Structure 1
Amino acid sequence: MHLSSFAVSGFRSLTDIADIPVSKPTILAGHNDGGKSAVLDALAFLVGARKLEHDDRTYVQPDTTNTSSFGQRCVTTAVSGTFTLDVWEQMTFDLPAQIKLRRVAGEDLVARLELFGPLADDERLRDLSAYLVPALKDLVAELGLKPASQRRADLEAALRTYAVEHSSTEGWHSAPAGLDKRIPRLLPFDGKRARPDDAVKTALTGRFQAHMADPELTGRLHELEDDVKDRLRIDAKSLCDHIHTRCPDLEEVFVEPEISFGQGVSIGTVASFPYCRGSDGAGTCRFGTQPSRFAGHLGVDQRAAG
């Protein structure tokens, strides 16, 4: 998902600003207190990197005939953006290539992510995020729909499809579940103070999580994990047999590798023996637990006799 432009209303000094472009690069220039920081903070609010605070709400133009209107702030603060979706996002959320999203909050400062599109004639279908799963199931049953499963995502998908087919106007409504996780990340970087490599690492962490959420990539990784796990099982058996040969007092040596390219490698190990005696007649063998790391990423719980 890529952001091409955004608009701000009711955010500090930005009463109503439209069509702020986002390109490579976009340069903000202006005098002190000209609203440059407000634009960046509004962008952070849009992408979910900042919570709205009371002081962020714009002061309304006072009514000179009504003294009580002085010092009042706007009722609603909203930042909307025009986004371009990739093919996977279009298929997953059943959306067009270009959409409009906005993050909006009222006087309670509770932010909501909304999508602009066909507005369901049935008002109950305009904010599906307000329902728990049992209530969604009741709506699906009442409308005679047949979702792919009883999971929340599939229930919402069926209701959204019905809402689009039964709508006579367009407007803002709740965004599909999971769409917020696809919104671009904001990485503030001040070249005078911050370390650029930290910003890059943060960006890569976010991209890694996004890639790992891709079903096609995840399926391929599972196949690789199974292949590596089978190979490690063979390696583990060979090593366990060798240890058992060298330490015959051990009753059992067993290792079961568990592989996850998303979380690293964990290996469960069992080694037990009733008694072990050294060549000098003293009980010199030790039984303990020591965490180790192999190949920079293999977490091992190692129990060994020495």
Structure 2
Amino acid sequence: MQICSVSVEGFRCLADVAGVPVLSQTILTGQNEGGKTALLDALNFLLHGTALSEHDLTYVGDGDLQEPEGDTAALHARVPQTVVTGSFSLNAEEQLRLELPEQVRIRRRFRPEAGMFLEVHRRVCQDPQLRDLAAVKLPGLKELAAVHGVEPVGQASARNSWEQPLRALAQQLKQVDAWVPAASEVAAALPTMVYFKGDSVQAPEAVIQSLLNSRLREYTRADEVAKRVTDLEGYLAESLKEDIDSIRSHIAQRCTLPSVELAPQVQVRPTLVGVELNVLDSQGRRFPLSSAGTGRSRRISLALWESSNELLGQHDATQTPESDVLFVYDEPDTHLDYSHQRRIMALLQLQSSRPNARVIVATHSLNLIDGVDISSVVHLRTQEGRVRAEVLSEDSADKDVRRHLSTIATTLGFRNSVLLHERFFVAVEGVSETSAFPILFRKHAGFPIQSAGICLWAGGSNEGALRFARFLKDHGRDVAFVVDKDSRTNQRHVFRDDKLKEHGFDLKQECLYLGSPNELEDLFTNDDWAETANALWRPNAERGPWQPQEIEELRAGKFSSHLLDLLKGGSPEGPKNKEDLMVGIAAHLAQDRIPAALSTVFDALVSRAQDAGPHLW
């Protein structure tokens, strides 16, 4: 059983976070105190039933509670319960054994006054009394049979004689989809979660305990071990018989009741309560690891994480298929240098490559965030006091769309961290602009273009660039275009007016045009070009320096192409392409010689960036 997504209600800062995908490899990012650790703990609660308290419930405002009118006393109460719901996929053997469909939802609830409940959403009989017959005692089964006119199919003293016909009746009656208590077999089939918390970097004992507990749970699932555990539970329940009889008779006597039924439910769940880890020094002396220093503890913890993939990959031949496992890391990169972070990245790739494993990592590390596909990143953002999950997709359920958008982002050179955190995306036509603009912008503004919150990218003739720009805009990112004036009508250019309008962009508000009259290169004067060319590309001696008048004569046609041909032909050191041309003049030009039209565009971009985002996807 593999987990595919998780939703959380009423747990710490996660008042209502829905549909967080759990992929083969998921990177969980977000601000401090933004809910990353809470989401991981919620997963632990769902899969392992870790104990919660009233302090884990979410405080909400007046508007979040749906109370009857006049019930003002409850308006400032806590959310009454925590609910963590997972979407799971089952293999064919599990579907047959658990009588569940391929996709199923399972949730765990907690209420302080009532405790913890594990439930599954499935097709059941509309009559609630006929749903969980396994939990009904023999007298109760007889009462239900009498109500529904059902006769036993065997000996009247045998439980199955009554339960079997009642189950058959339940199948014949109207069926509905409802949340019902999950059977112990469903609970046992949940994935094993191996939780490596951030503080485990300082405590390798905690890592070992987590690993061995996971293996212990796997061993407990084996048929032979499960039978022994069941026999032990039966033996312990039988051992309580005399104590139960004493309690029953005491209650009956004190409360004047004719009869009292009391059935013990004994559950044995083996668990590792602690681990003692000692090391030996070079003289063979034995001492606790805690006194060996934090550096050694961190190295041992990392080694343990690496060993977990092999350890949890082992399974007995009788266990078919191999148990599913979820590896969870809470800021594993804390206090680690880049080389050790690379080891962690390799570890995550290895673990997520296992068909029965999934990996989820909460981190602030840009190395880890940028080291995976953008479609694997889930960003938790706090807005108006509520945590929301951002995922790069038009439809988080559509894997093909996710993959396509991810491919476009990669093609355009976007880092994951840029897509998550930048406020303002500015599309230009090509590499000439992306290379020259940062140089010219810094000379004009006095600071780098990145520090203004502007992400510059070259769309070129890539049709996908327009679709991706539209996607950014539709999901709350601010987008603008800076294009040559001749692009507005040139059929060879993707950033022409009809294409921009077709993708929903406002030509007046979101498009800035450059050129005098046609393109960026036009903006620079003849003197600027001649001075730059003579200084950088040194003309042939026989032809002599380039003159401003030569430059002027080129403006009648396609200026940038003619200029490039002139400078390439006049010097063996001349620019090789338009990118060389623009980077050369951008680097050589003095700050006070930057064209006024270009300065106006830069000022407009800074103003837009100041008012931009960040927004939710």
Pairwise TM-score range, normalised by the shorter structure = 0.5 to 0.7
Higher strand share: 1
Aligned to 2:77: 72
Identity of aligned residues (%): 32
Higher relative contact order (CA 8 A, sep 6+): 2
Structure 1 position 13 matched with structure 2 position 32: no
The one-character-per-residue Cα deviations of 1:15-69 (angstroms, maximum 9, x if unpaired) are 2211112223222211121111211121122113312311122223226998744
Please give the secondary structure, in 1, of the residue aligned with 2:58.
coil
Structure 1 position 193 matched with structure 2 position 219: no
Distance 1:214 1:158 in 2: 32
Distance 2:138 2:39 in 1: 37
Distance 1:111 1:155 in 2: 30
Distance 1:159 1:50 in 2: 35
Distance 1:82 1:176 in 2: 17
Given that residues 219 and 225 in structure 2 are in contact (C-alpha distance below 8 angstroms), is that contact kept between their aligned partners in structure 1?
no
Distance 1:12 1:135 in 2: 40
Given that residues 151 and 162 in structure 2 are in contact (C-alpha distance below 8 angstroms), is that contact kept between their aligned partners in structure 1?
no
Of 194-203 and 41-50, deviating more is 194-203
Alpha-carbon shift at residue 159 of structure 1 (Å): 5.3
Q: Number of aligned pairs?
A: 214
Distance 2:89 2:164 in 1: 20
Distance 2:95 2:143 in 1: 27
Among residues 84, 93, 97, which one is paired with 1:88 in the alignment?
93
Bigger radius of gyration:
2
Could you say if the C-alpha distance between residues 69 and 137 of structure 1 is closer, same or farther in structure 2, counting changes exceeding 3 Å? closer
Q: 5 Å matches for 1:96-245?
A: 96-128=101-133, 131-136=136-141, 138-139=143-144, 142=148, 143-144=150-151, 162-190=169-197, 192-195=201-204, 196-212=207-223
Could you say if the C-alpha distance between residues 118 and 127 of structure 1 is closer, same or farther in structure 2, counting changes exceeding 3 Å? same
The one-character-per-residue Cα deviations of 1:64-101 (angstroms, maximum 9, x if unpaired) are 99874464111232111112223333222222222111
Distance 2:145 2:92 in 1: 28
Matching residue's letter, 1:31: Q
Of 200-209 and 29-38, deviating more is 200-209
Aligned to 2:58: 58
Structure 2 length-normalised TM: 0.31
Could you say if the C-alpha distance between residues 126 and 192 of structure 1 is closer, same or farther in structure 2, counting changes exceeding 3 Å? same
Distance 2:53 2:140 in 1: 32
Given that residues 80 and 111 in structure 2 are in contact (C-alpha distance below 8 angstroms), is that contact kept between their aligned partners in structure 1?
yes
Aligned to 1:228: none
Please give the secondary structure, in 1, of the residue aligned with 2:123.
strand
Could you say if the C-alpha distance between residues 197 and 176 of structure 1 is closer, same or farther in structure 2, counting changes exceeding 3 Å? closer
Distance 1:4 1:157 in 2: 35
Matching residue's letter, 1:192: V
Given that residues 10 and 58 in structure 1 are in contact (C-alpha distance below 8 angstroms), is that contact kept between their aligned partners in structure 2?
yes
Distance 2:169 2:42 in 1: 34
Matching residue's letter, 1:36: K
Distance 1:98 1:155 in 2: 32
Distance 1:25 1:157 in 2: 44
Distance 2:3 2:47 in 1: 10
Distance 2:82 2:10 in 1: 5
Distance 1:48 1:159 in 2: 32
Distance 2:224 2:60 in 1: 43
Given that residues 52 and 109 in structure 1 are in contact (C-alpha distance below 8 angstroms), is that contact kept between their aligned partners in structure 2?
no
Structure 1 length-normalised TM: 0.58
Matching residue's letter, 2:94: E
Distance 1:69 1:39 in 2: 27
Alpha-carbon shift at residue 162 of structure 1 (Å): 4.4
Higher helix share: 2
